[in-house]
Amino acid sequence: MTYLSPLGYLLGLEGAALLQALREGTGDRAFVEARITEIRTLLADPALAASPGVEATPGGISTAEVYREWAPVYDEPNSMIEYEEPFVHAILDRLPIGDALDAACGTGRHAAHLAERGHRVVGVDASPEMLAIAERKAPGATFHRAELTSMPLPDRSLDLAVCALALCHLPDLVPVFAEFARVLRPGGHLVISDPHVALSYLRPTLARAPGPDGRPSIFTEYHRPLSEFLAAALPAGFQVRHCAELPRTNPPASALAGVPRVIPAPDVPQVSWELIDWIPEAAKAAFHVPTIVIWHFQLGGERSDSMPGG
């Protein structure tokens, strides 16, 4: 069981803000005393005291359920996509035109970009709701409903694959990288983005009520150190061309300015983004961590279309 407490989450962010300031040398006396005062205020707040939290079961929400809900709103303003997309496109735009895969394509945002660049595009995703949107967004592409570990694509049929913000949903990277190595031609490029492990310690927990057991349930994600990507990619024959850890330069609270303070309802137990507006200065300091990791790999072998590093 995981105990979801709005007060506990806010106190955790205050502690993270203090530790970040100590590490970076930015925590002067005024900042530290402001955090201590804010912690005392949070502990005395009657609204937080009246919301003691709930126990939730990890792993009771499937990826399919979550993306069924997200599909209609996925293309709305999304800070993760806003950070990730320019960096991924900068890599993709330097690669030769060829046969390209958008793996776990979602609503087809990268598929559409690749098609506009002149690639022959195929997309793969397990969510029919997301694929329906992708087909409208990139009508010239071919889409398949399938898992990343078993894609209905011929061996050595692709020059390029991109997989964006999706590997965090898979428990094991090894079979995924093996599948990428199977479908790419020698010298083919693989561009991956994923939520950074550092962010996972700070962002709210996605929960729903009830889960299969009647209790509130938490969506499971797999946040990995960078070494796990290398442990899966290198034995599959991939070489690292570039790796970037993108920092979060703006706090999530910036998008919530003026929003009334909200405590998640007990029947929908969510330690939610709205809570961050309670402590914007602490949130800004705490969230000064890498948000997304970007990888550019190249499959070993013949490299007739090689390029300068990432």
Cis peptide before 210 (omega within 30 of 0): yes
The pTM score is 0.88
Question: So what's the pLDDT on residue 79?
Answer: 82
Q: In the chain, which residues have pLDDT < 70?
A: 206-213, 249-270, 302-310
Alpha-helical segments (H) within the chain: 6-24, 29-44, 46-49, 63-70, 79-92, 109-117, 128-137, 174-183, 197-200, 226-233, 280-286
Question: So what's the pLDDT on residue 51?
Answer: 79
Question: So what's the pLDDT on residue 158?
Answer: 98
Q: Any idea where the domains of the chain sit in the sequence? A: 2-299
Question: So what's the pLDDT on residue 227?
Answer: 97
The burial class, CB within 10 Å (0-12 / 13-18 / 19+), for 13 is: buried
Place of tokens 């800070």: 79
In CATH terms, 2-299 corresponds, of 1.10.12.10, 3.40.50.300, 3.30.565.10, 3.40.50.150, to 3.40.50.150
pLDDT in tens, 173-226: 999 999 999 999 999 999 999 999 999 999 887 666 666 667 778 888 899 999
Question: So what's the pLDDT on residue 252?
Answer: 47
Amino acid in the structure at residue 177: F
- Dihedrals phi, psi of 130, to nearest 5 degrees: -70, -40
Question: So what's the pLDDT on residue 219?
Answer: 82
